[in-house]
Amino acid sequence: MTTRQAAAVGGSVGLIISAAVLVLLGRFGVWHLTSIGNTDLRVILWPSSVMLTIGWRSTVPGIMTTLSSIAINCLLYAGMALLLRGCFRLVAKPKRDQSGIR
């Protein structure tokens, strides 16, 4: 997977997660649907969602804050995908023969 593909996949995952949370919020109007026990999955999967306001979809500042929160989430997931790609490349790098014999 190339660097560009990894960043695109990570950004897409971030966008899908943001959209899913916003659909749940817009459809049902409550945050607690994304909780399991005492763990809020919304904050784990979309950390920048804490900056959303009451008027996240009805006022201009709320819409702009929501868009910036979505962009931050996409960048976070793209960055994580690139870090994972780099880690996998380091682990999967073939080791050279130490004996010097070819």
The per-residue pLDDT for range 13-32, each reduced to its tens digit, is: 999 999 988 888 888 776 66
In a domain, 79, yes or no: yes
The per-residue pLDDT for range 22-74, each reduced to its tens digit, is: 888 888 776 666 678 888 888 888 888 888 877 788 899 999 999 999 999 99
As for how many domains the chain has, the answer is 1
In a domain, 102, yes or no: no
> Residue 36 — φ and ψ, nearest 5°?
-125, 110
Give the residue numbers spanning the domain of 75.
3-92
The H or E element that residue 85 is part of is helix 60-92
